[in-house]
Every structure is written in structure tokens, then in C-alpha cells.
Amino acid sequence: MKDCYLGIDIGSISTKGVIIDDHQKIIKSLYIWTEGNPKEATKRLITKLKESLEANYVIKGVGTTGSARKLIGLMLDACVVKNEITAHAIGTLSRYPSVRTILEIGGQDSKMILLNRGIITDYSMNTLCAAGTGSFLSSQAKRLGIDIQDFGKLALQSNNPVKIAARCTVFAESDLIHKAQVGYQKKDIIAGLCKSIVLNYLNNVGKGKKIVGPIVFQGGVSKNEGVVKYFEEVLKQKIIVDPDSHLMGALGIAILAKNNKRKQAYHLDLQEVSFDTVGMECNQCPNNCEILKIYKNKKLIDAWGSRCGREFTK
């Protein structure tokens, strides 16, 4: 039997999973929509990955990262649970050991990670506004009647990108509608949107940061050739986009799971496991904490949110 390791990156928009072997090679991967339910998305993801995995492989490590990492880590009894910054850095370094700057734009947020000799020296995140993220681009593509897969290709056809105010989703949509009504060509509007996303990212997430190459761009938006083009144009540097750029967080946490593997194999028969969460307000003291209780097979396994240290047993 061969050992393998599962890494899951659970985001608000998408859930990514990879299975790697002992040489850190991705042998299986999957990208699905979270659809507001990370528990069910994880069940679907694992079921499909297990169905495609050869019978001579056994899963010896499971790691979770992303916004729902703690919840899914409990659900799977993961051997490692880490934040996205660490996971993305580890995944990227496994492919590009000399990387100095990681640009990441996902479905709902964006981040920048600075490294020196394989060590994270600084990072920043933008989780407050969706302007410039994957969900923002998808909504604008739909508004313009364009398949999101063609968005970047159309941007490359433009030689005259229109200036779009993309610092805020509301202003961007208003500006985009106005430019379309005035009569600007669709390709120029799309190119302007791609360029404004780059400028917005650099002025917010990258504010005060010294961006040094090699630069690796990842996350779902890295598949947009128009955004890649304008990053290279503005930064005047080559931008590396890995074929698995959308999976780097999952790859990184899978590598960490490999380094923390268990002796026993994970069976991950989730269809036979009930996993429920119950929210409540604790009024035992003036804090009135909002408590989230986690139940596995009807048994309380954890409770989050207590500020006074009170423990919950049922």
C-alpha cells in the first residue's frame, strides 16, 4: 500500500482539495463551489476524491486551511489545521523555492505574502471589501453578458482600457454601466476593469510593501490573462502563474499533513457521520457570549466563543 495525504482549502466561495503522494506530487485534485455550506461541500469533495483514488493508496494525513478550517478540521479529525498565509506559502515554496512575493486573489478576499529565503517576512489581507475578487469579476461578467472564462481573453484584445473606479463594488458597477451606456467597446471596458483590479490591489493590499521578484500570482483570478497582463505592466516584472495556482493553499496544507501524518489510516466515511452545529447565547454572566456548539454523532466535541473560559458539557 502507498501512503497519501489530503489537503482541503475551504473558502467562502470555493472548496479545493488535493491528494499528494510521498514526493509531494498531486495525484488527485478537485475544485467545487462551497455554496454557503462548508460541511456539505467537504462531504461532496471527499466522496468524489475517494471514488477516483486508486485502491492501493491509503490516506495517512489530513490538513485543513481556509476560512472554515477549524470547523472542517474538527469534522475530519485533521492532524493539522493552519491559516491561509502559512498554507499558501508552503504550497508555493514547494514549487518555487526562490519566490519573494506571492499575490493571491480569491473568490471573496485577497492577500499578499512577502518572503525572504523561504521565510515569511510580512503579509497583508483584504477581507472587508469584495472589489477586485473573483466573485466581483463573475458578477461583472454576467452583467456584460460574457462567460467568465472569456473575460481575460477579451481584455487582451484591447489597446485602450477604459478607466473604471474599482475601489468599491458599488462605484465600479455604476461606472461600468455608465461606460457601456455611453458607447465604449466591451473589450475596452473589460480591459479597464482588469487594470483597475490590479491598481486597487496594489494600492490597498500592497500599500507600503516592497514587491520583489520572483513574483507568483495565485488564486482563481490568476487564471484571468487580462489581470496577469496588467500586473506585469504596472510592476514591470514577470508574473509566474502555476498551472495549479488555484490549488496552492490545499497543496500547502497537504504537505503539512504529510509532515504530521498518523500511523493509522483515515477512512473518512463521512456519509455515516452526523456533524451538527448549534448556536446559542450564554447568559450566565454579563458577557452574554455567542456560543457555537459542535456535535459529532450527537456528542458535543467542542464549543467556541466563550470569553470567560466557561466550559460546556452538553
What is the pLDDT, as a whole number, of residue 170? 61
Query: Domain 2-89+250-272 - what CATH class?
Result: alpha beta
Other CB atoms closer than 10 Å to residue 77's CB: what's the count?
12
Q: Residue 133: what pLDDT?
A: 67
Q: Is 2-89+250-272's fold the same as 97-241's?
A: yes
In the prediction, which pLDDT does 130 show?
56
Q: In what order do the strands lie in the sheet with 215-218?
A: 119-126, 110-116, 101-105, 215-218, 239-240
The predicted pLDDT at position 280 comes to 78
pLDDT of residue 46: 92
Fill in the amino acid letter for 228. V
Convert the pLDDT of each residue in 42-71 to its tens digit: 999 999 998 898 888 999 999 999 888 988
State the Cα torsion 35-88-214-119 to the nearest 10°: 160
Listed in sequence order, the residues at least 6 apart from 46 whose beta carbon sits closer than 8 Å to its beta carbon are 6, 8, 17, 76, 268, 270
| Residue 90 pLDDT | 96
Q: Are 162 and 179 spatial neighbours (Cβ–Cβ below 8 Å)?
A: yes
Specify the pLDDT at position 134: 66
- Residue ranges in the chain modelled with pLDDT below 70: 127-135, 165-173, 313-314
Supply the CATH classification number for the domain 97-241: 3.30.420.40
Q: Where are the domains of the chain?
A: 2-89+250-272, 97-241, 275-304
What pLDDT, on a 0 to 100 scale, did the predictor assign at position 105? 87
